[in-house]
Structure 1
């Protein structure tokens, strides 16, 4: 491979003829052709390995067109898919403050980094807004939001009997890791990001582990991860590691004997009547999904993932997940109170969140019955930003409306 790197996407350009099949913005054909021209001009297919270093303008086009830049697998909506109906409860007049300046909810979507905002209250769509030519049909890349989805699927695999429980060892399902630093590491350790295996998650460093192997799967992932040294005893130190979420994907596929997209479709997407098809990025054509990244879905359906997770806290009788899976998923790990089973936790309340780089998020507020989902395109992958300040302040203002 070019520069001997493990590619994040790892494929050649797909035929432009696939454009009509995979384009997922709601714009007219001329818009799709305009995006295709931009993709070609900026060589986004050829530069897919550099996705973390695309410019903001390149991301604005590329993030909603991953399906024509890279191979994906469809997560099909149900025949009884339920379009969301809008219930106007007056959120359009919500205001918030950042550094002493007052803003309205409409100002948030005008931020250069904002792409979409959806709010659910008690399962109903109560606010929705988009920018950059996107709308409720736009599928956008989720990055690490997918980690939380993979966690849900582990819960489903336990319910179905494919996995006995989270105390099972990684090597029980992936014996190729015997003799590596992952011997003695449990599924729970990986879910909690405290395996003790050395890993560098610096998105700004092209030589970091995440830049080199963050999107690896299959034998490429296994070979890279097997070579990593142990830095700490398992279960003692939190270290955020995207590749271990990819490892969860490998473990899931090994356990269920199927691909993750079909399992997601059968266990959650169709039974929960998601509104639109989703796409899941593959490591190569007809390959395997990236467990820690890159489910592409509409913002409405991402908000429904949050609603699904919220409803699972009550362990309904018809739940596709193991008993008490979501309750256990949001218990703070022993090594970091802000993280559970691939969900970010708020130590001040019961809120939890799925988060992805460049501003993707699904915030779940169980006590208020609120879901706030966002698509973003921040200047940097992570860290402090104007977008984050506005996003956090807006979340609090929306919550205050219902306190």
Structure 2
């Protein structure tokens, strides 16, 4: 991450380390070995598994360790959605059903300003999709004017008519959040995430890639942190917004995060949902990418953060299970393998599942 500039540090407030099982681990060691083997066969560099909030397995390779910050890619989207829950609780945003023009001045009197925030958070804004070969896509991905490109997009469809996973939807949702934070006396997105999420869960320093020194963060990706801290975020979600005996985010917001959206039952608010089963998980009508899954999840309550090429945080509350994984980009990553290996090792915990 240090190669990408400018960066902003989300300063950590590291507290007690994650506890480990000293004996009688609920996940057999041979199961973790199989999980490690699959992850590394797909270019995996780091893997950590928690059960009931305790580490049952952790592994690194290629010089990485517990302090290494990994590329998160789109997992930042899910953290941005968590920050929305804090901003609503703090009164900075009234509702995600507010029109985005209430928060983005450039669109205050523009038809696009009537699109609800919810449409951007659920990838159903109806705005045009950038073709990766066109100059605007290159400008969006690599220039110092990311938000400017996103704000230039035209409306192609009515909101909520089609799921279409787009980084620009996340960027615009993030810009609206950032403007709301600043309007209410907060310094910036990084400082707010630090105060409301990162410090309360005891995480270490993370890095956020900005579009330019004075501009917005890249809300669609690139909040890069160590794997233990991603596991902490997953643990907070599994515990309905609570961490270390303190309610960090409203439990109702965590439920909303994981509630299927109108246009895609496998997508909530910037967060993916494991059920219903799909052998190929699609990112939308113009994306050539999809993620295979050879078999359904063995639990019906899987939800997860998806970072490009196999960066993941899986949360399975019924089994008390958290899996965080990072590695080289893999386009053959199967989303079911790690979760189902773990669930088979924890089979006594899993209630009967009906799809």
* TM category, shorter: 0.7 to 0.9
Q: 1:112 to 1:369 in 2, by over 3 A?
A: closer
SS at match of 2:97: coil
Residues matched between the structures, number = 317
Distance 1:316 1:332 in 2: 28
CA contact (8 A) 1:180 1:227 kept: no
The 1-side partners of 2:2 and 2:106 are apart by 32
1:229 to 154, 157, 176: 154
Q: How does 1:279-294 map to 2 (within 5 A)?
A: 279-285=207-213, 287-294=215-222
Matched residue, 2:167: 242
TM-aligned CA distance change 1:132 to 1:314, over 3 Å: closer
Q: Secondary structure at the match of 2:56?
A: strand
Aligned to 1:162: 92
Q: 1:180-210: per-residue Cα shift (whole Å, max 9, x none)?
A: 562221111111111111114x6xx443865
Provide closer, same or farther for how the CA distance between residues 255 and 374 of structure 1 changes in structure 2, counting only shifts above 3 A.
same
SS of 2:305's partner is strand
Question: What SS does the corresponding residue of 2:123 show, helix, strand or coil?
Answer: coil
Any idea what the Cα deviations from partners look like across 1:117-144, whole Å, max 9, x if unmatched?
Answer: 1111111111111122211111011010
What's the counterpart of residue 57 of structure 1? none
Q: What residue in structure 2 maps to residue 341 of structure 1?
A: 269
- Alignment of 1:252 with 2:167, yes or no, is no
The question of whether the paired residues in 2 share the 8 Å contact of 1:281 and 1:290 is answered with yes
Offset, 1:115? 1.2
CA distance in 1, matches of 2:271, 2:121: 9
Match of 1:207 among 127, 131, 134: 134
Matched, 1:93 2:21: no
Task: Report if aligned partners of 2:20, 2:56 keep a CA contact under 8 Å in 1.
Answer: yes
1:402 counterpart residue number = 346
- Superposed, which structure 2 residues align to 1:334-373 within 5 Å? 334-348=262-276, 349-373=300-324
Contact in 1 for aligned 2:67/2:226 (Cα 8 Å) = yes
Higher helix share: 1
How high is the TM-score relative to the length of structure 1?
0.73
Deviation readout 1:345-376 (Å, 9 max, x if unpaired) = 11242211100112211011011111111102
SS of structure 2 residue aligned to 1:333: coil
1:400 and 1:305, CA in 2 relative to 1: closer, same or farther beyond 3 A? same
Deviation of 1:232 after TM superposition, in Å, equals: 1.4
2:112 counterpart SS class: coil
Alignment pair present for 1:77 and 2:12: yes
Which string of whole-angstrom CA distances, capped at 9 and with x for unpartnered residues, describes residues 243-278 of structure 1? 22112221111101131111011001111112x211
Conserved? CA contact 1:182–1:226, under 8 Å: no
2:259 pairs with one of 300, 322, 331: 331
**Inter-partner Cα distance in structure 2 for 1:215 and 1:179:** 29
What are structure 2's unaligned runs of at least 5 residues?
A: 277-299, 348-355
SS in structure 1 opposite 2:80? helix
Deviation at 1:314, TM superposition (A): 7.5
Q: 1:370 to 1:272 in 2, by over 3 A?
A: same
1:124 aligned onto 2:54:
yes
- C-alpha RMSD over aligned residues: 2.5
Task: Confirm or deny: 8 A CA contact 1:363 1:373 kept in the other structure.
Answer: yes
| Residues 67/155 of structure 1: CA separation in 2 closer, same or farther (3 Å cut) | same
